[in-house]
Structures are given as C-alpha cells and as structure tokens.
Chain A
C-alpha cells in the first residue's frame, strides 16, 4: 500500500480490471504507447498487449459506437475520451444506443461499457477543455454517471463501473488528478454505485457536492466547524441514478442544504437535487436550498476561470445565509 494520486488510482483500477477479466479492453486516442494524455493508461499496453489496449483513429463517435458493438458481443470496453470537451459527438451513441439497447431488445443485447473522460476546470487548460457538462448525461435514461472525488473512490468506483453490466459515464475531475495523494489498497474492492458517500457528519447544515468541488466544500465545512457549526458533507459520486435517500436523511436532520457544483447553474444536477428536496423533504427545510455553482456563462478561458469556479468563500457565504434561518 502506498499513497497514490487519483490518476494513478484510475490506472491501478484499469490494470486490476484487465487482469481479472480478459474481456476488459481499453480504447481511445493515445491510450497505447503514449499512455493517455494524462497517463491514465500508462504501462497497460506493455502489460496487456495491443489486442486489449487499442489506439483508435481520432473519431469520437466511432469509439463510443465501437463500445456498443463490443459490449453487445460480451466485451467490457473502457473508452477514454481525452477531454470532456470532445465527448459530444458520442452523445448520439450514448443516448440513441448505449442507454437503450438493453431496453429495446428486452435484455437480449446489453452495453457493459465505460466511457472515461477528464472534466472540469482549474488547470489552466486551453479553450474547450474545462467545462463540466455532467448534467447532459445525467438526463439520459439507462446509463450511470459516476464522478470520483478522491484516489480511493476513483479506484473503487472505476472497478464498479467496469464490472457493472450497464453503460457508465465515468468523469474524472482532472484538477484533482494529481492534487491529492491517498493510501489506496489494490485489493480489487469496488465501491458502491448508486450511493452517496457521507464524508463528514453534521447536523447544522448539509453540503452536497461532487468531483473537484468536494475539496472546496470540505474546506468550507472546516471553516464552519471553527465557529461551532457542524456541516455534513455528502459526495454524490453517482449522479445518475441519484441516491436521494442519503441526501434526504441528512437534510431531515439539518434542515439546511447547500449544493455545490462547478457546472453552470441552470439545469445542473443541483437543480434536480433541489427539486427533489422540495418534493420529498419540504417539511424538513428550515432555510431555502442554495446552489453554489458556475455561472450561466460560457466557461471563461484560464485568466478568468478562478472567478467562475466556486470556492470555499462562496460556499461559506451561502452556508452562512442559510444558517441565519434559525
């Protein structure tokens, strides 16, 4: 056991899954000798060979569709998209096919596939590299959308995603790729899908977040604790389907909820959580549900991106506003 980064945890999980199951294939651009642009597939080609680590032509629609065909044939393809900004040609395949093949054939053909993509801002990347558009996918029936926020969860959730018999969109917060180190045991233990992770207990306020925003959210919770306020912190992790049970249970106790995501505010997954709180948790609410999110603007280029991304100050301000409702 050693301390590893999130991107190393991804690599570890890929290698583990490939060694356990010959059907697991890794496909994408530059996943072979180059080891992926973020080095998530480094060493896999040497270890598992060119039949299982496949550099594809530069054609995003193809490799999403390729995975549908491979999945229907019983393989478990793991497709890497270099950046989420280039994933959109694949939406056709995910929405029209991956998410519905099982249903439209009544279980005869299935898509046990994983689409991996680094996403989110904060690394001063060029244009088109920093968006967080997880809500586009969370709207699609028949798939899962999973976002890890730490090396350990990246390892466990990716193993679970690969073993899952249905399509999973696995979005990796690239800002966290190398920012945190954590001890991760390569024990082949999957983390649960369709479940939130309660990272911190607290009865005064519930902070709900995912991905790179977990770090900012935990920092805000620490600051609140200094003034005697105990905030629960929930890492949603699986955005689709959404584990509202865990969120509702926490908000029932705290009566206050602040949702944090770096994706744009309108129509974000935070809106779904807030709607569900209004629907199923209304009588628990002591204060308005607040969302701290990116603005409804085009994601700015690096010079302004820090102003776009929520930080612990913005989270704290929203938290304090909800706490005024005693």
Chain B
C-alpha cells in the first residue's frame, strides 16, 4: 500500500476542492495519467498519477475540500517508496510549550547597567541594598564596589532560618498586599493607680474600641470577596524572641475577666519562651497589639498582617509636659499608633477607633 497526499499545487496553497475524478477504485493507472481535477484558489489543475498501480481507495468526493498534505489516493501496490511529499513538505505548527519564564529577579526594579549587574553578581552584592549615585538613580560600579567592601568588612551573611525566615516571608507578603496608613495619638495615663498592668489596660481598651468601631476588627478577603466583621475579638499579641516574631492569639478578650486574661497572658509568654505554642494558638487573630514600648520607641508605622486590617502599637510610657487647663503640667503619657489597611478601612473609622482606645485608657481604672 502507498498513499498519495495532496501536494501544494501553487505557492503556499492550503487546500483544494475536488472537481472530478478521472479514475475509480480498482482501476489500474500508469504514472502521469490524469487522476483527478481539483480547484485551488489560483487554478483548476489536473493531478496526474505519481506512480503506476491499482487504485485501492479515493479519500474524497467531488465537492470535498481537501487540505494540502491530506491523503488523496491509496494505491494497492507500491513499486516504489512513497515520495509524494519529497518536495514542499507541509510544516505543521508545533504546540510544544515554550520554556516557562524564570521568576523575576529580585533586583528588577533596580537601575544598573549590565556591566554593573555583572560586577555585582561576581562580588555577591545584592543590588537591592546598594545606594545609587549615578544619573537617573542608577547604581554605578563605584557603588557596587563600596557595597562589596562593606559586606567584606561585615563578613559573610547569616542565612535566615525558622521563625525569622517565616517572619521575612510574612512581612514580604504583607508589604506586597496591604495599603497601610497610620494614625497616632497620646493617651494620658497619669491617673492610673500605681502597679497598673499596661498590657491588660491595652487589651481592655482594644476590646472597647472594637465595640465602638467594628470596622477595625475585621478580615479583608479581597476586592471581590469583600470583608468579614467579627463579633468576637481575638487579639494577636506580638512577642519578640531572639529567633523571631511570634504573634500568639488571646481569644475573645471582650468577654473575659481581668484575672482570666492575666492567666492567659502568662501562659502565652511561657509557651513562647519554651517554643511550645500550639499551632492553633498562632492563627485566627482578628486584630493585633504590639506593645513595643517595653523595648523603647514612641510611635511606629506598623505592619498589618493580612487578612487582618489593623494593628495597634503602644510606645514607651513617659512623663511629658502637657497643657492641662491652660497650664503646662507634667503628666505620664502613653504614645499610641494605629496602622490600618486603607483598602477596606476608612480613615475616619481608624481615627474613631483610636479615640475609643484613648478614652478607655484615660480612665483612672
């Protein structure tokens, strides 16, 4: 058996219509004898037999459109190998997928000439941390060399592991997603009884504020999915350790008494120190408190961890000269920062929330 395929009869023709067959199945034909008339876009042409032999099958009927390269006639005997497509082979589109593009390099936003990039690669300098001094804020060879010298002085970098590595990943994600805005305030806590626990007072104030402004005790699930306002307040409490940041959760703070909360806090600190916080205790925060003041600092632009929409930060309490009844007075104050995700939260909601926190904190007890 050999099959004769419809050749390209013109110059780049894709198909032809069968006009009429000059032979039938069972006929014996000799080479170059007319087989079939076909009509192409350019002409009606007669196709001769490419070989001698008996016709076993005709693949199309008059009126059929046959694609170039499709079978036309089958011969019973094949005295010579089929050479029907020796000339003008029909290329077929390959659907093989191309290589996937590699992930964008971290230094893509950095402006540096190729030679500078090559130098940075050679010296192991991360261009994203190099200060640019060239035209149009480009990094120059000198900038890279300076950075390389600094790195050399500092010794080899220490790889991030475990909790610190997870923190880096979470922070990158938060930075990529959230549109943060920060408001700050100072609460006058001068009238608190001696020995008051700042953390417990903050927890109580946040619970009050969530009641006053529920928009901050929420999850933002995306532009299409929307937000979810929570009835209960599950407060994440940021805790620094040498290994990295932990944010265990203190559940349902609004309905728990002071003693219960105190016990919960104590257990939480112990667990964190022992690195034995159960996984479920690290999930489900609806809002977060960072009491960074215990280490220092006043105000901060904090990082909101999605899907939460707000984080409250408390700075170090201190004595400050404040105007009180028209006179300068020295009072103990607590600086407060509220960072919120401005996508689902309005500035007014954030300000009202912060005002509610302050109002509760400024109560004597």
Contacts and interface: CB of A to CB of B under 8 A. Distances in A.
In the complex, is A directly touching B at CB under 8 Å?
A: yes
Interface of A: 255, 282-288, 321, 324-326
Given A325-B140, A326-B141, A326-B142, A286 B113 contact: yes
A287 B115 CA distance: 8
A185 B278 CA distance: 93
Given A255-B113, A325-B113, A283 B138 contact: no
9 contacts: A255-B113, A255-B115, A282-B114, A283-B117, A285-B115, A287-B113, A288-B113, A325-B135, A325-B138
Contacts of A325: 113, 134-135, 138, 140
B135 A283 contact: no
Contacts of B138: 325
B134 A283 contact: no
B141 to A, nearest CB: 6
Nearest to A284: B115
Given A255-B113, A255-B115, A286 B141 contact: yes
B113 A285 contact: yes
B134 A326 contact: yes
Nearest to A283: B118
A321 B135 CA distance: 9
Given A283-B114, A321-B135, A325-B138, 12 more contacts: A255-B113, A282-B114, A283-B115, A285-B114, A285-B115, A286-B141, A287-B113, A288-B113, A324-B134, A325-B113, A325-B134, A325-B140
A321 B117 CA distance: 20
Nearest to A281: B114
B130 to A, nearest CB: 13
B116 A286 contact: yes
A283 B116 CA distance: 8
Contacts of A282: 114
B43 to A, nearest CB: 27
Which 8 pairs show the lowest CB-CB distances between chains A and B?
A283-B118, A324-B135, A326-B140, A282-B114, A286-B115, A286-B113, A285-B114, A255-B115
A286 B135 CA distance: 12
Interface string B124-161: 00000000011100101110000000000000000000
A104 to B, nearest CB: 18
Nearest to A251: B115
Contacts of A288: 113
B134 to A, nearest CB: 6
Contacts of A285: 113-115
Interface centre among B114, B138, B140 (most CB of A within 10 A): B114
Contacts of B117: 283
Interface centre among B115, B133, B135, B142 (most CB of A within 10 A): B115
Interface centre among B113, B135, B140 (most CB of A within 10 A): B113
